[in-house]
Amino acid sequence: MHVMNARYDVFQRISYNINNTWLCITAPEKVIKAEETWDYVHLRPCTINDPLQRWIIKNNSFWTANGFYRLKDYNWYGYISRNSGDRYNHTLDPSMNDWVNTIATPGNISIQTSIAWDLQTTEGQERYFIRWGSSNKNTTPLYYNPENGHLAQYDPISGSLYCMYSQVDNYQWNWVKWKWCSDSLESKSKGNPTFWNVFFETDQGGMITDYKGNALRVTRYG
Report how far residue 149's alpha carbon sits from residue 197's, in angstroms, rounded to the nearest whole number: 6
Farthest CA pair distance, the chain = 64
pLDDT for the residue 219: 67
Question: Average pLDDT per run of 10 along the chain, which is 222 residues long?
Answer: 83 95 97 96 98 95 96 94 94 92 93 87 84 82 94 94 88 87 76 87 75 82 48
User: What are the angstrom distances between the C-alpha of 81 and each of 4, 77, 146, 170, 201?
Assistant: 25, 13, 35, 54, 40
All domains of the chain, ordered by start, with CATH?
7-101 (2.80.10), 111-209 (no CATH)
Burial (0-12, 13-18, 19+ Cβ within 10 Å), 28? buried
- Ramachandran assignment for 88, one of left (phi > 0), alpha (psi -120 to 50 degrees), beta (any other): beta
State how far the alpha carbon of 98 is from the alpha carbons of 22, 29, 95, 104, 107, in Å.
Answer: 22, 30, 7, 11, 19
| 49 CB burial (10 A radius; 0-12, 13-18, 19+) | exposed
Alpha helices in 28-105 (DSSP H): 29-32, 97-101
Per-residue pLDDT at 121: 81
